[in-house]
């Protein structure tokens, strides 16, 4: 079942540059996405301000801008979680449990732990970010070394 399984010992086919490229891209990806969200939120306001009109759904534009700013700052906070995940991901790939569902569950669990550690933050945000980051990281490894994540035929 490809959702839970991958090649047993898939970690052996990964090189240091594969790990660094996957983790580096996962670490930096929120910055351009957050910049795009913040810019779009600011551009949404321009026509209304130019015409001197009240901005409808002001809270949506404000929340979108805030979300974009948080995403741009994510690398300052997420590096520790990424570093701590290295031995876990290595063990998962070694056991052949590197399916997309396994990574998604692991990312969600990491996000839930981050929400509990940060306290006061709405849990769906870090859980969602954790799932998306884990699935993106898995996809990066799959692009770099498909044989590391190809499910074995005997499962």
Per-residue pLDDT tens for 135-145?
999 999 999 99
Full-model pTM: 0.81
58 confidence band (pLDDT: 50, 70, 90): low
Determine the pLDDT at residue 155: 42
- Higher-confidence residue of 53 and 31: namely 31
Cα separation, 103 vs 93, whole angstroms: 10
DSSP secondary structure letter of residue 98: -
Cα separation values, 95 from 4, 29, 51, 130, 155, Å: 11, 28, 61, 22, 13
Phi, psi angle pair for 100, to nearest 5°: -65, -35
Write out pLDDT tens, residues 72-103. 988 887 887 788 888 889 999 999 888 899 99
């Amino acid at each position: 079942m490809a959702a839970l399984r991958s090649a047993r010992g898939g970690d052996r086919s990964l090189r240091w540059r594969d790990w660094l490229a996957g983790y580096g891209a996962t670490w930096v990806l929120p910055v351009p996405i957050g910049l795009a969200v913040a810019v779009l939120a600011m551009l949404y306001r321009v026509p209304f301000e130019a015409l001197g009109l009240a901005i409808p759904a002001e809270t949506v534009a404000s929340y979108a801008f805030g979300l974009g700013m948080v995403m741009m700052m994510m690398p300052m906070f997420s590096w520790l979680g990424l570093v701590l995940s290295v031995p876990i991901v290595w063990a998962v790939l070694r056991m052949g449990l590197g399916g997309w569902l396994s990574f998604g569950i692991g990312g969600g669990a990491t996000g839930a732990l981050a929400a509990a550690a940060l306290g006061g933050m709405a849990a769906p945000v870090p859980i969602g970010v954790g799932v998306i980051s884990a699935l993106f990281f898995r996809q990066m490894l799959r692009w770099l070394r498909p044989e590391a994540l190809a499910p074995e035929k005997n499962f």
